[in-house]
Each structure stands twice: as structure tokens, then as C-alpha cells.
Amino acid sequence: MTVELVRSSAHDSDVLFAARVSTQGEQTLEQSRLDGSETDTDIARDRGLINYLMRDRHGSPFEHNSMTFYVQAPIFVFREFMRHRIASYNEESGRYRELRPVFYVPDADRRLVQTGKPGAYEFSPGSAEQSALVEQQTMTASRLAFEAYQRMLEAGVAREVARIVLPLNIYSSMYVTMNARSLMNFLSLRTRRPESHFPSFPQREIEMCAEQMEALWARLMPLTHAAFEANGRVAP
């Protein structure tokens, strides 16, 4: 899974001016024009305000920022992304361009055996035989599907029709844009952490994307990220 931060306007100061306007009004205008390179002289006060907002779930100040990520992942991962109606998406189109023969094949570290009830699954490593079976069958199916796709294209069949034979493990790419509040909601559901107030059980492949997005965000808004972790990874 590949995630790149391509554009952002996201700083801890965005949260601070948005929150302080409720009590300071126009006095916050100067602070709102900062580009994030300037910091408040009282770091402890800023950290305390952000933690208070996170803890008491005053969420709107966390919306005055934006991050755009470029993501490359299998299509089945994108379908999970788009369950989150809290972001803007633009995805590569199989109608308008010929798709590349790049397919996801789980490596030997991928846990294969699922146990437990819905919503609380546990996964354990598969046997060597299971891992070999998954690799062999996935590669065979992917090759056969792409060969069928190419044969239809060569016969003059439209791309939007030919693509129907391609499996969900073919890679696609997209841009996804969201603010920090939306990202925290996404992370609370798509990462598994023992310290979370509300445990989540994401599919590993989307969690791999979420982990990269979180690392990029943490560098942009370290005080906000720290408050998110300190308060049980609950979106405000």
C-alpha cells in the first residue's frame, strides 16, 4: 500500500484560532493568518486547550484544515475507504484508461485463519501450505483475468466492458481529501489499538493505508495527534 501526502493546510494553530473565536471574536484574526510556522509562546496552554476540546468532544475546531493524500491500493481496499462518507474521492477510471497488470498478492506474513464472531474477529497465521495455496491461486486467477481483459481490448471491446472480468485485487489509485476530524474518525475505525476506547477490527490491508496516513498527519499536527491518542483515539 502506498500513501503520499500531496497537499495540506493543516496545523495545530488551525484548531486554536477556530476554538478561541467563540470567546475572543475578531482578536483571533491575526492568529488565523499564521501559516503554522509561528507558535504560541505558551505551548502548555495550547496543548491544554486542544486536549480539552478532544476530551469533551468539541469537534468543529478540528475541521478548519485540509489534507490530500494520494493512495495506491487494491480496489477492494478502496471500496472500504468509500464506506466513509467524510472525505472527497477521485479514483483512476477503468472506463477511460487501460488498467495496468498490477495485482495484490498477500505475502507470507498475512494472517489467514479467521476465528471469532462478527465484529470481533481474531486472525492467526496460516500454515505454510495455506500461504502457498493463497499465493498460487491468487497469481493464477490474476493472470487469467488480465489475459481475458487484454483479449477483449484487442478485439475492440470498450474498456468499460472489458474491465468487468478483472478481480478486486487489481491496483487502482486515488486522491482522498479530508480534515483532521474526519481523519480521526477514519483512524478510530480502521486501526486496531489496545488503548482505544472503542476497539475496532479492520481488515489488515486498509489498516496499512491508515497507518501511513496517521504518520503523515502526526507530523503536521503533533499536539492534535497526541490529544487523540491520550483520549482513547475517539474522534471528537
Question: Residues with catalytic annotation?
Answer: 190
Please give the single-letter amino acid code of residue 157: V
CA–CA separation, 34 vs 43, rounded Å?
16
Cell of 218: 502526526
Please give the single-letter amino acid code of residue 21: V
Q: Which residues of 73-109 are buried (b: 16+ CB within 10 A; e: fewer)?
A: bbbbbbebbeebeebeeeebebeeeebeeebbebeee
Type and span of the H or E element at 89: strand 88-91
CA–CA separation, 189 vs 234, rounded Å?
9
Type and span of the H or E element at 114: strand 113-115
Sign of the torsion angle spanned by Cα atoms 164, 170, 171, 176: positive
Who contacts 72 (Cβ-Cβ below 8 Å, separation ≥6)? 1, 2, 171, 172, 173
